[in-house]
Chain A
Amino acid sequence: MFDVLAADIKAERPVALAEVIEGPADALGSKLVVRPGPPVEILGSLGNPDLDRVAGRDALGELAAGITVTRHYGLRGEARERAVSVFIESFAPPPRMIIFGAVDFTASLVKIAKVLGYRVTVCDARPVFATRARFPQADEVIVSWPDRYLGEVGATLRPRDAVCVLTHDPKFDVPAIVSALGTSVGYLGAMGSRRTTDERTERLRAVGVDETSLARIMAPIGLDIGARTPEETAVAICGEIIAFRAGRRPPSLRDQEGPIHRDRVRVTEP
């Protein structure tokens, strides 16, 4: 059964494992592997068909929500009893990051996003720049206009996913942002200086983007940690995404004023 579970996890197919971690000694360690399909497939047993049915149904629900949790049941799956504790672990496919713009900063962002477990797509309309050789760690490199690409995959984006617009060219980033705003993506960030950001905001207003939608855009992208290099900038962006998902508000560049690149404080030995 473990080989089925491992194969699903590796192939990034959603799967859940429900296992008795407390209860009668002979049930300890008994488990279900729950595959949502379609069709739904439930392998194994927790030792009682009614318990299997109830826990299997709960595991499907937790998996759909991406939640890992311990649930308690009676010996035959009764609610509000605690004879059996079942640890339900959800293996949801990894979150996605779509990066628009095959620029210098993109390669660093791909690297850090991969470390964080994202499935990363780089998309740029220019075939000279959007090449596998430049982004070997990306899961996909797509040559397409951002809005056309989001037209194809936008409906699959979820609140835990991220779209990063690094093009800082109104020709690409305005349509990219407008398309991204039409999806359920959680994090939407756009790179650019404060001037670029202000000009872009005006362009977005001009094409009819309302203030609520504008407030979704993290721009200038990234936390205000004094990042300068592409690698540091990638950390600033990913830090902002982590904070966003955790519901925290550390200082983002969006919320500050003044130059993004200030002189660093020089630390010298006394």
Chain B
Amino acid sequence: MREILDDIERWQAQGKRVALARVVAVEGSGPRLPGAAMAVSEDGEVAGSVSGGCVEGAVVTEALGVLSGSAPAKLCTFGYSDDEAFAVGLTCGGIISVFVEPLEW
């Protein structure tokens, strides 16, 4: 979180809305620990990361969805082999849960 605070502050100072995505659970092999955080501005700018680059694209989509009001906050899980529900996988075979919310608190 520490490393993305300056970006969040800058975006908010520019009047942009921001979504916060944090890893809250990792099962099996995962590159980042719980607490790894990523921020997405309403323009789609990104700071930080939640994995080794495998699911960041999908997290941006979820973040923009949350900002557009599709859900107030959302727990997203990546890495299940159930490819109908979770199209985005992790090459390492792990499963990560990411909590995505608008940064309006």
Residues of A within 8 A of B (CB): 1-2, 6, 9-10, 19, 21-22, 28-29, 31, 44, 68-70, 87, 89, 91, 117
Instruction: Knowing A29-B72, A89-B34, say if A6 contacts B5 (CB, 8 Å).
Output: yes
Instruction: Knowing A6-B8, A9-B1, A19-B99, say if A89 contacts B73 (CB, 8 Å).
Output: no
Give A59 Cβ to nearest chain B Cβ, in Å.
Answer: 14
Q: Hey, which chain A residues are within 8 Å of B34, CB to CB?
A: 68-70, 87, 89
- B2 close to A9 (CB less than 8 A): yes
A116–B99 CA distance with the chains assembled, in angstroms:
25
Give B26 Cβ to nearest chain A Cβ, in Å.
Answer: 11
Given A6-B5, A21-B99, A117-B2, list of 15 further CB < 8 A pairs?
A9-B5, A10-B2, A19-B99, A21-B75, A22-B75, A29-B101, A69-B34, A70-B24, A70-B25, A70-B34, A87-B22, A87-B34, A87-B99, A89-B1, A89-B35
B46 CB-CB contact with A under 8 Å: no
A19–B25 CA distance with the chains assembled, in angstroms:
13
Q: How many B residues touch A, CB cutoff 8 Å? A: 20
Give A8 Cβ to nearest chain B Cβ, in Å.
Answer: 11
- B73 close to A29 (CB less than 8 A): yes
The residues in B between 1 and 17 inclusive whose CB is less than 8 angstroms from any CB of A are: 1-2, 5, 8-9
Give A32 Cβ to nearest chain B Cβ, in Å.
Answer: 11
A219–B22 CA distance with the chains assembled, in angstroms:
39
Q: Hey, which chain B residues are within 8 Å of A69, CB to CB?
A: 34
- B22 close to A89 (CB less than 8 A): yes
A10–B2 CA distance with the chains assembled, in angstroms:
7
Q: Hey, which chain A residues are within 8 Å of B101, CB to CB?
A: 29
Q: Nearest residue in B to A33 (C-beta to C-beta)? A: B105
B47 CB-CB contact with A under 8 Å: no
Give A196 Cβ to nearest chain B Cβ, in Å.
Answer: 38
Q: Hey, which chain B residues are within 8 Å of A91, CB to CB?
A: 1-2
Give A250 Cβ to nearest chain B Cβ, in Å.
Answer: 19
Instruction: Knowing A9-B1, A9-B2, A29-B72, say if A68 contacts B35 (CB, 8 Å).
Output: yes
Q: Nearest residue in A to B8 (C-beta to C-beta)? A: A6
Give A66 Cβ to nearest chain B Cβ, in Å.
Answer: 11
A29–B22 CA distance with the chains assembled, in angstroms:
12
- B8 close to A68 (CB less than 8 A): no
Give B38 Cβ to nearest chain A Cβ, in Å.
Answer: 14
- A2 close to B103 (CB less than 8 A): yes
Q: Hey, which chain B residues are within 8 Å of A9, CB to CB?
A: 1-2, 5
A44–B24 CA distance with the chains assembled, in angstroms:
20
